[in-house]
Structure 1
Amino acid sequence: MSDESEESDVYRVRDPRALKAVAHPLRVRLLGALRLEGPATATELAARLGESSGSTSYHLRQLARYGFVEEDPGRRDARERRWRSAHRYTAWDELEIGGTPEGREAAGFMRERQFEALAGDRAAFERDRDSWGPEWIAAAGMSDHYARLTPASVTLLYERVSAMIHELEAADAADPAAEAVMLHFAAFPTRGYTG
């Protein structure tokens, strides 16, 4: 990313322990809820996610330990402990993190959580499909593509998709028809495809 403000919204994980810490299923859900819905207390998150407040409190402290969440300075009451996401996105360099068995394991755990998030988002859409208007039903969906690309082209594709997401998000910011949309993008090389 070239924009400095966008870069500050990205937590670039370099420690495999931090990536493994955030890859815990409940921690991924907590971080996602804070990113999507804004600051909340452990009790509020527990009610939202169907967990105990003791469990959410513990996992929020673990996320804070590794820099994923922080206390919200804009809390309403000095007695409450409100949490917020410290960054909008989490990223890691696969070569850097994957340089050790611990790092490869952590990256694998995180990819598994991402896959679970995709499956959960799809299931939620299917469950609530009738509550969305025809425009959203027509726009939502998934696709897959097979293409013969170089690593440089895949990297460029990620960069362009990311830039386009930011551009469209800025353009739609004031539009009352805009909704939160979960976007998932993955690219893995495969053997046997000849195009």
Structure 2
Amino acid sequence: MSEPSGIFHVKDPQALKAVAHPLRVRLLGALRVDGPATATELAARFGESSGSTSYHLRQLARYGFVEEVPERRDARERRWRPVHKYTSWSELELSGSPEGREAAGFLRDRQIEVLVQDRERFERERESWGPAWSDAAGMSDDAARLTPASVSLLYERFRAMIRELEAADAGGADVERVSLHLAAFPARGYAR
């Protein structure tokens, strides 16, 4: 079975709105992190009906986020997989319509929710991770005077460094899935 390819750059506000639905964001995230699944498996995981997850998976497929796995264990099974590993969008491209601004805003809010959930989960489970992970995990913040071009370069290098380190660590005995977040927002009038 093939792995999902790179980045899906969304330009259509309708497509971004389609993926911005709360359950669809969770379904797509689960498929990207845990691999292919059926609507029934996802329904059990998220406490939804299989009819609901099936409908939302079809909507994600309609806009190119997921696809059916062609290989089936039996004639009735419909397994779904992500088409792309990541979703991106341009705030500038989508800011031309209220629908685009709303969908982009929802997805930014969802990214912050995921960050908070990841931190809270780690705090609850800290003792089970051991000293090396307790020391390595955490958050950092900084402030710098940068141009928009430099911020874009920062994101590009951040992604490249993640892929480089992921390749170097592949197969390591202590490799774990790590949730990484990078945010950059210009700010005026506040002291750091």
Q: TM-score, normalised by structure 1?
A: 0.91
Distance 1:185 1:75, change over 3 A: farther
Shift of 1:102: 1.8
- Equivalent residue number for residue 32 of structure 1: 29
- Equivalent residue number for residue 152 of structure 1: 149
Which structure 2 residues correspond to residues 49-60 of structure 1 after superposition, within 5 A? 49-60=46-57
C-alpha separation between the residues in 1 aligned to 2:137 and 2:106? 27
Identical amino acids, percent of aligned pairs: 74
More displaced stretch, 106-115 vs 73-82: 73-82
Which structure 2 residues correspond to residues 156-171 of structure 1 after superposition, within 5 A? 156-171=153-168
Shift of 1:119: 1.4
- Equivalent residue number for residue 68 of structure 2: 71
1:94 aligns with 2:91: yes
Shift of 1:191: 0.9
1:178 aligns with 2:175: yes
Aligned-partner residue type, residue 89 of structure 1? Y
Q: TM-score, normalised by structure 2?
A: 0.92
SS at match of 1:89: strand
- Equivalent residue number for residue 3 of structure 1: none
C-alpha separation between the residues in 1 aligned to 2:136 and 2:72? 37
SS at match of 2:9: strand
- Equivalent residue number for residue 6 of structure 2: 9
More displaced stretch, 122-131 vs 27-36: 122-131
Native 8 Å contact 2:39 2:50 kept in 1: yes
Q: How many residues align?
A: 189
More displaced stretch, 161-170 vs 126-135: 126-135
Which structure 2 residues correspond to residues 123-138 of structure 1 after superposition, within 5 A? 123-138=120-135
Could you tell me which runs of 5 or more consecutive residues in structure 1 were left unpaired when the two chains were aligned: 1-6
SS at match of 1:145: coil
SS at match of 2:155: helix
Shift of 1:194: 6.0
> Considering only aligned residues, what root-mean-square deviation do their CA atoms show, in Å?
1.6
Native 8 Å contact 1:12 1:91 kept in 2: yes
